[in-house]
Structure 1
């Protein structure tokens, strides 16, 4: 992350915050794909991050998709154009949406795109930021204790909600919202870089 050590805090730039948030999305998405069994266990490898041993996908096609998507999200975060990232799990056979993992992005006071002053930075200890991210990852892992078993073959997709002013590449297309009928929602913890705040929740289909 871009930043300068200042006492027991770090100066967090907008660019540095965008890097940290997009990096969290990478590990968060991989954790969901692993915990929900979207790909076989042998398709993942271990990495150390946030003081945890995390699993990341080794499939070249999936890695390429995630890298390109998160590079674009990082650019949008720097431009203040991202409202939300959603990971959607769908039944491959029926195309029915089974789960939605929502990560809502907000700007901390004074860091809204139209009001942020040039050179303005946030201040927060990097260890505190990483601890908050670690807690969200741990909750993602713990979600398997209450989420319904996925008894069908599922695929995933990423939806990015941006402001209308965002510069959208031609390869990106508008998508349906992919809401879930008869869903239950569980809110997870949030984290803040002092520039961006990310709130997480998971919605899943119930039999009701």
Structure 2
């Protein structure tokens, strides 16, 4: 009896892994919007997640936009169809891309005890995953110390890079590659659920 209880203690499925990543993206993107000054600071509220304070936008349009993107991302992630999610920051007037945050995804084998990749599970402890995410969130907060000041009105967009042709929601557009002139990249720490490894990289325009 004891060994069965032990075995079911932590079992992350692809669906569970997709949820963890979508949640990280929600907090990560909000944190970037605040840290990079894309919207006024008074439109954010402080919350605690992963053991660190994170500022979340209270703008209903942003909340709705991110919710739609992340519901779709989570669904595609749970079927291992996403290679990268990009958050692109552009100059609102000139449309020049100033910064691009790439969240790169790699499928992992978890406990690897099934021939069906959709049924893979991971027994990695949730606590360890959250610690790894906390380290990344701290790094996102620290980027303000070296990223160039965005001294113009900026807008942002989120792109999902899929591995194969997916049914794209009607109100969405297909889009090309993002190019930043004179760019520099900084790789932040990665975290892993055992089924997905997530690398966070910020590409920015050298001022």
Instruction: Confirm or deny a common fold (TM above 0.5).
Output: yes
User: After superposition, what is the alpha-carbon deviation per residue over 1:60-91, rounded to whole angstroms, capped at 9, x for unaligned?
Assistant: 01100000110000000011111100000000
Counterparts in 2 of 1:55 and 1:152: CA distance versus 1, 3 Å = same
CA contact (8 A) 1:8 1:125 kept: no
1:1-208 pair list within 5 angstroms: 6=6, 10-109=10-109, 116-117=116-117, 119-207=119-207
CA distance in 1, matches of 2:38, 2:166: 31
Report how many residues are paired. 202
Counterparts in 2 of 1:85 and 1:118: CA distance versus 1, 3 Å = closer
Return the offset for 1:178.
Answer: 1.8
CA distance in 2, matches of 1:118, 1:200: 24
CA contact (8 A) 1:84 1:161 kept: yes
Unaligned runs of 5+ in 2: none
Counterparts in 2 of 1:13 and 1:145: CA distance versus 1, 3 Å = same
Alpha-carbon RMSD across the aligned residues, in angstroms, is 2.0
User: After superposition, what is the alpha-carbon deviation per residue over 1:91-146, rounded to whole angstroms, capped at 9, x for unaligned?
Assistant: 0111000000000011013699xx63464311101010001011111100000000
CA distance in 1, matches of 2:134, 2:118: 31
CA distance in 1, matches of 2:140, 2:107: 23
CA contact (8 A) 1:5 1:11 kept: no
- Corresponding residue SS for 2:10: strand
Comparing 119-128 and 20-29, the one that deviates more: 119-128
Q: TM-score, with normalisation over the residues of structure 2?
A: 0.92
User: After superposition, what is the alpha-carbon deviation per residue over 1:22-59, rounded to whole angstroms, capped at 9, x for unaligned?
Assistant: 00000000000000000111101111110011111100
CA contact (8 A) 2:89 2:157 kept: yes
Return the offset for 1:176.
Answer: 2.5
